[in-house]
């Protein structure tokens, strides 16, 4: 197989997506002949800087492949790490192309706008010589694992909100309430729902010592800077959104409140359940949600919004409607992947069904051992294996927990089995290092809201 002058090999071509070009596999083939060193530094809040050293070919013949590689690499770094300043060091021509792409009028206009809103400052692409590359400044920090005292754990989902009352690590009460935050433009709706859950949990304990919150979105401190829960709220009212969790917590008492991304809390639940680190949690649901804790069970301070990071270089791949880019994770590891692949397998889905209902329809066929549905989930399993190759280049992963509604039933079993089969066959060293798995029973018992309850350190 060949793409932009680079020959790469896939032993297991996905049957329903034969044009799939896995970014990680192509990268390995591309780098074999690349000898010109470059570096990319990404700066985010509080002066934190992540630096990656890599190579390009640097020849006229490989100019298109060089730009494709660096452009996708920078895109992946932005959506995994986050940042408002990207220094491209040692390849001035490519840096200038990227500067034109990341503007309000450029092809990466969505990313430019997203990160500008996230950090409340303009996203910059800086052209530097290799010798002037900024120095790295990373600071992983502990996340949760505190079980003492009386705690509220809250999980803010897009269709329901879950809350737990936890006393010395034991869940004494839990409830789940349907709500519709994504359709509400007045943040008072979300505030009242959050406060109602807090008060309910508080009523089940003699006191409240701390509140931990798992929520979709990207946070600076406890402030949601970008979150699908508030997607309809106008930016003119975003100051109310940024203080929403702290304000609700203050109504309960003068106690520590800690908010974390739901993906990181999923990884924390795995770390608590398995008592180990280097865990990535990957949830396949409405979209792709990812979180990670390192070997010391610390979070990296990265955004890990891999739903919008590239996994497929096929230039005819399906576009994501929100971010406008093609080949990004949400179209491969979510209900959208199932819906995309079903017609290719010969499954006709009623256009009047909701996306969740379309997923359920394919899953019902899978429970009946329908070979068409089998092909859908086999293809996603192959996607996942080749994407483990990619993710392992950026994260030190020993355990990858895959969960979410796409992973339920026989479909999830098929995804997992095919992923493991491809890794074992093509990447035996990676197969030995990374255990791709469903959450074990202990991890399931910990649960998202209970893991969230462990976030605050209540010691005075």
Rounded to an integer, the average pLDDT of 364-382 is 98
Give the pLDDT confidence score for residue 286 in this predicted structure.
84
Rounded CA-CA distance 296/396 in Å is 12
CB neighbourhood size of 289 (10 A): 26
Please give the C-alpha separations between residue 407 and each of 110, 255, 320, 374, 403, in angstroms, as whole numbers.
30, 37, 21, 13, 5
Choose between 110 and 441: higher pLDDT: 110
Question: Does 460 score more than 60 pLDDT?
Answer: no
Pair of tokens at residue 403 = 């969960």
Question: Does 19 score more than 90 pLDDT?
Answer: yes
What is the CATH code for 140-460? Answer: 3.30.420.40
Give the pLDDT confidence score for residue 216 in this predicted structure.
84
Give the pLDDT confidence score for residue 165 in this predicted structure.
96
Residue with tokens 């209900």: 335
End-to-end distance of the chain based on CA atoms, in angstroms?
A: 61
Give the pLDDT confidence score for residue 445 in this predicted structure.
58
Q: Specify the 3-state DSSP secondary structure of 95.
A: helix
Confidence of residue 442 (pLDDT cuts 50, 70, 90): low
Hey, what long-range contacts does 344-348 have (CB within 8 A, 24 or more apart)? Answer: 344/16, 344/17, 345/16, 345/372, 345/373, 345/375, 345/376, 346/372, 347/372, 347/373, 347/376
Q: Taking the mean position of all CA atoms in its chain, how far away is CA 152?
A: 25
Rounded to an integer, the average pLDDT of 273-297 is 92
Question: Does 404 score more than 90 pLDDT?
Answer: no
Confidence of residue 432 (pLDDT cuts 50, 70, 90): very high
Strands (E), 97-238: 124-128, 141-142, 150-156, 160-167, 170-178, 210-215, 218-220, 223-226
- pLDDT tens readout for residues 175-233: 999 999 989 999 999 999 999 999 999 999 999 999 999 998 899 889 999 888 999 99
The continuous run of DSSP H or E covering 312 comes out as none
253 Cβ contact list (under 8 Å, min separation 6): 208
Which of 198, 149, 189 minimizes the C-alpha distance to 170? 149
Say what the pTM is. Answer: 0.92
Give the pLDDT confidence score for residue 273 in this predicted structure.
84
The continuous run of DSSP H or E covering 158 comes out as none
For the chain, domain boundaries: 9-132, 140-460
Rounded to an integer, the average pLDDT of 364-385 is 98
178 Cβ contact list (under 8 Å, min separation 6): 159, 160
């Amino acid at each position: 197989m060949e793409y932009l002058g680079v020959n790469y090999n896939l032993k297991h071509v996905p049957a329903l997506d034969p044009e799939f070009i896995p970014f990680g596999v192509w990268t390995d083939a591309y780098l074999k002949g690349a000898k010109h060193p470059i570096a990319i530094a990404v700066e985010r809040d509080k002066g934190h800087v992540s630096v990656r050293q890599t190579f390009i070919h640097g020849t006229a013949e490989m100019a298109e492949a060089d730009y494709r590689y660096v452009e996708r690499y920078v895109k992946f770094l932005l959506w995994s790490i986050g940042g408002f300043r990207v220094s491209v060091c040692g390849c001035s021509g490519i840096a200038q192309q990227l500067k034109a792409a990341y503007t309000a009028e450029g092809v990466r206009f969505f990313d430019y706008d997203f990160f500008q809103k996230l950090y409340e400052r303009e996203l910059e692409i800086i052209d530097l010589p290799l010798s002037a590359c900024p120095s790295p400044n990373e600071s992983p920090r502990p996340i949760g694992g505190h079980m003492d005292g009386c705690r509220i754990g809250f999980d803010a989902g897009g269709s329901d909100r879950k809350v737990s009352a936890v006393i010395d690590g034991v869940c004494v009460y839990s409830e789940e309430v349907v709500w519709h935050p994504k359709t509400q433009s007045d943040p008072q709706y979300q505030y009242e729902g959050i406060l109602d859950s807090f008060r309910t949990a508080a009523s089940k304990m003699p006191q409240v010592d701390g509140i931990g919150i798992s929520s979709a979105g990207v946070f600076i401190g406890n402030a949601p800077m970008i979150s699908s829960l508030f997607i309809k709220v106008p930016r003119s009212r975003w100051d109310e959104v940024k203080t929403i969790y702290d304000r609700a917590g203050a109504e309960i008492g003068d106690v520590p409140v800690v908010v974390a991304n739901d993906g990181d809390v999923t990884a924390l639940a795995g770390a608590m359940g398995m008592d180990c680190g280097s865990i990535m949690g990957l949830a396949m649901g409405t979209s792709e949600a990812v979180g990670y804790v390192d070997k010391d069970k610390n979070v990296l301070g990265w955004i890990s919004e891999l739903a919008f990071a590239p996994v497929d270089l096929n230039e005819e791949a399906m576009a994501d409607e929100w971010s406008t880019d093609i080949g990004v994770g949400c179209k491969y590891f979510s209900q959208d992947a199932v819906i995309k692949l079903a017609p290719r397998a010969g499954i006709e889905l009623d256009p009047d069904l909701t996306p969740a209902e379309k997923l359920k329809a394919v899953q019902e066929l899978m429970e009946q051992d329908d070979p068409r549905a089998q092909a859908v989930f086999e293809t996603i399993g192959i996607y996942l294996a080749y994407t483990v190759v990619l993710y392992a280049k950026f994260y030190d992963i020993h355990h990858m927990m895959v969960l979410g509604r796409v992973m339920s039933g026989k479909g999830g079993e098929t995804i997992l089995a095919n992923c493991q089969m491809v890794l074992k066959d093509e990447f035996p060293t990676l197969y030995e290092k990374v255990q791709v798995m469903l959450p074990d029973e202990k991890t399931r018992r910990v649960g998202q809201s209970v893991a969230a309850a462990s976030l605050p350190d209540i010691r005075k």
